[in-house]
Amino acid sequence: MKPFSLVPVFKDYLWGGTKLKTRFNKRTEASPLAESWELAAHPDGDCRIANGSFAGTPLSEFLRKFPESLGSGRASGGGLPVLIKLIDAREPLSVQVHPDDVYAMRTEGGAGKTEMWYVLDREPGAFLYCGFERDVSREELTRRIADGTVTEVLHKAPVEPGDVFFMEAGTVHAIGAGILIAEIQQSSNTTYRVFDYGRRGPDGKERPLHIEKALDVARRGPACSVPPGSRPPVILPGSTLRRLARCAHFSVELLELSEHCEYRTDETSFLSLLCLEGSARLVEGEWGFDIAKGDSVFVPARKGSVFLEGRGTFLLTTVPDGEL
């Protein structure tokens, strides 16, 4: 089964901006444009196939017909296990936390949410919150949520392009203003808001918080500072490949393509390619198609290789099988 490009799903959350349109050529009337879901088969957003024999088909429908395209390992059973986004935070996001699989299944009937961020760009002085500076008790956290001082005990991390942050489920966090990121996460849209700066939604009412659930799932201590499974770059003929993170839910690599690359695939997992800079051509014999900045490509699980020719930067995502 051949690879194909995807049509993204757009989200106009109130904290979004315009950079996904100006920097990644996302064409939509949505304003502001906060998120572009580049790989999604979720009830809240389902990409469509952009080219090939299945053009126009919702990705979820394709995966129901061809579940083997997800792979035979951890990716199999239960639908697409990851969701990949581009995020433009013109304003800060709420301080929030996501549940793990056990809590989410019990209370929400779905998956939890561990995620990884790759910083694409930032305004001067931009920062994000990830975890706490020190251990805090449930009582102190409850009090600080009530009096609006929770950010005083969160770890404030300045960001630069190329930075990687890993947010295990239960990590209290917030993307700050002026940050453009790529996010790889479990396929979940469950978020418990802890603090939201008193902002009001389109209905004029303050957006709801989810304090009790947040207190149940929050890890009340410092977060992991080094993404799990990260490895130094490997220099290959025509490209450089660096693993950014690897956990039970996803494995993410950064491909710097200077001329050409052969990336080997197998039956255990699909492969997602997201073009962050430049362009390339995906080639299979006499067949192929062009990939531009902002394009997302799905490669069904199979034993073989993906050939890329061009110059650009790509995020490659798979679902691990076996030992981490």
Tell me the catalytic residues: 193
CA distances, 251 to each of 158, 287, 312 (Å): 24, 28, 20
The torsion angles phi and psi of 116, rounded to 5 degrees, stand at -135, 140
- How far apart, in whole angstroms, are the C-alpha atoms of residue 279 and residue 257? 9
**Could you check whether the bond before residue 32 is cis, i.e. omega within 30 degrees of 0?**
yes
DSSP single-letter state for residue 152: G
Element (H, E) at 215: helix 211-217
Residues in a beta bridge with 288:
283
- How far apart, in whole angstroms, are the C-alpha atoms of residue 255 and residue 240? 6
DSSP single-letter state for residue 72: S
Q: Do 32 and 13 touch, CB atoms closer than 8 A?
A: yes
CA distances, 322 to each of 75, 163, 286 (Å): 11, 27, 35
Of 265, 255, 323, which is closest to residue 298 (Cα–Cα)? 265
CB atoms within 10 A of CB 76: 19
Q: Do 11 and 17 touch, CB atoms closer than 8 A?
A: no
CA distances, 18 to each of 11, 21, 180, 319 (Å): 12, 6, 11, 31
- How far apart, in whole angstroms, are the C-alpha atoms of residue 27 and residue 134? 43
